[in-house]
Chain A
Amino acid sequence: MRAEITDLEIRLLLEAIYQRFHYDFRQYALASVRRRLQQALSAMHCDSISGLQERLLHDERVFPRLLAFLTIQVTDLFRDPDFFLTLRQQVMPLLATYPSLKLWVAGCSTGEEAYSYAILLAEERLLERTLIYATDINADSLRRAKAGVYSLDRLRQFSLNYRAAGGRGSLSDYYHADRDNAVMSPALRKHITFADHSLATDSTFSEVQLVSCRNVLIYFDRELQDRALGLFAETLCPRGFLCLGTKESVRFSAHATRFDDAGFGQRIYRRVD
């Protein structure tokens, strides 16, 4: 019984967030939302989700804090090095045939994925003709992504990933240290446009050759996954690349027939003509 009441409270809270703040989490996978809300409850000293809803609607300082719990995703530079190695070896040579390139990193959070793409493109001598759109729904994440400042203690893991992903130089070529932080190089940053975009409520905004949306769809329910994949199909040029997380697939989607497996042994798909 208790679990059903909690689920009801969560649905009401998500409806309140949508009506009051126009952020739509109503089709997010509930188990993860529940877990994150529990963390928010204890951090914000609330006894119940209904209690949190009461504060949310009457104290404007509550929503930005809650949004951080619901959206922020910490990831690494070159997370899943095997994926980036495949991208470098198999996908980059094909992208090189385009005179100019647009990429879309959907759900970029604090920017790690977008910078990984920028570094990879730079090393394959493609960055100069590339524009990367990196989008997210959390304005604070986007600010941090734009700043490109990461704690130095994370750099060891980043460097290991970079090397395993076939990095051609040293990761330190792409940032400078500032006290305890690494600041990503402006030469990378000027090719990335960070922008607000919601896969739940916004539509397509450009035509791109590659969409990367890794470990975002697992947080959506099937219907919202379908919406996002439909959006990607519309945004990709014919034969454009769609990159998903290692445990995500287009297979069970309403849009399954609009994508082919690229055959690289990763979750890399190509839009059917």
Chain B
Amino acid sequence: MTAPEHCSDAAQPPAAVVIGGSAGSLDVLRAIVGSLPEQLACAVVIVLHMAPRAPEGLTEVLARGCALPVQQAQDKEPVQEGVVYLAPPGYHLLIESHRAFALSVDEPVHFSRPSIDVLFESACDAYGRQLLAVLLSGASPDGAAGMLEAHRRGAITIVQAPDSAESPSMPLAALALFNPTCVWTPVEITRELPALLADCRTSGAARSPA
């Protein structure tokens, strides 16, 4: 696999990484946020499907192994680089064009609120090709449309390899729509993503992933 071509454009490093996951993605997600460096020149925004009344312990779980601050995104809060944000349970999380968060209680999408599509599609409007979108394991078609939109806008897209996913249907739904920049196992994602972000920022040339 060749290096993601977008990364060769040094003027357009990702300003935000959006990550979506559902069933079977928590461990991968922990590994990913655990792999992020202390200095990160972009924001990380995560939607993880959970039961509507699940205890709000996810922030703590992810913060434990992460060098960056992990917090629930708040309505109207400006998106800051070097911070890992989580969608609050029961709300859709969106990013406004001026790169501040917005929440909504609009209808669930694919039975999910927060929905990955809602975050990703709004992030596409806010960041265009300065976005890096990651879709992990899950038993839901949510996220596929958002990934396709990111792909169309020229963003870097990473889909977890279906055979490495506890629930492959979410990655498969995305792969049925388009060819992402990378299809990676969790090990590859955690190894290559920090390098990808660092390389895009500093040298403008990506290391060849995998």
> Is A32 positioned at the interface, with any CB of B under 8 Å from its CB?
yes
> What residues of A have a CB within 8 angstroms of the CB of B91 in the complex?
218, 247
List B residues 68-112 near A (Cβ within 8 Å): 74-76, 88, 90-91, 94-97, 102-107
Known contacts A218-B102, A218-B105, A247-B74, A31 near B122 by CB under 8 Å:
yes
Question: 1/0 per residue B38-53: CB within 8 Å of A?
Answer: 0000000000000000
Partner of B104, one of A4, A7, A218, A246: A218
Contact B125 A31 (CB under 8 A): yes
For B97, the chain A residues whose CB sits under 8 A away are 3-4, 7, 30-31
Cβ-based interface call for A215 (8 A): yes
Report if B142 contacts A (CB, 8 A): no
Tell me if B150 counts as interface (CB < 8 A to partner A): no
> Could you say which of B96, B104, B105 has the most chain A C-beta atoms within 10 Å of its C-beta?
B105
Contact count A vs B, C-beta below 8 Å: 57
Size of the B side of the interface (Cβ < 8 Å), in residues, is 23
B173 at the interface (CB under 8 A from A): no
SS class of chain A's interface: helix, strand, loop or mixed?
helix
Q: A74, B107: Cβ atoms under 8 Å?
A: yes
Residue on A with the closest CB to B117?
A35
- Complex interface: chain B residues within 8 A of A29 (CB): 96, 102
Name A3's closest neighbour in chain B (CB-CB): B125
Name the residue of chain A whose CB is nearest to the CB of B103.
Answer: A218
**Interface residue? B134 (CB, 8 A):** no
A89 close to B (CB within 8 Å): no
Query: Does B118 touch A at the CB level, under 8 Å?
Result: yes
* A193 at interface by CB-CB < 8 Å: no
Partner of B118, one of A35, A75, A218, A248: A35
Q: How far is the CB of A6 from chain B (nearest CB, A)?
A: 7
A270 to B185, CA, bound (A): 52
Give bound CA distance, A259 to B106, whole Å.
28
Residue pairs across A and B with Cβ atoms less than 8 A apart, 11 shown, are A3-B126, A7-B97, A7-B125, A31-B97, A34-B122, A34-B125, A35-B94, A35-B104, A36-B106, A215-B105, A218-B103
Given contacts A3-B126, A32-B106, 17 further A-B contacts (CB under 8 A): A3-B97, A7-B97, A29-B102, A31-B94, A31-B97, A31-B102, A31-B125, A32-B102, A34-B122, A35-B104, A75-B105, A218-B103, A218-B104, A219-B104, A246-B88, A247-B75, A248-B75
5 interchain residue pairs of minimum CB distance: A31-B94, A3-B125, A31-B102, A218-B103, A215-B105
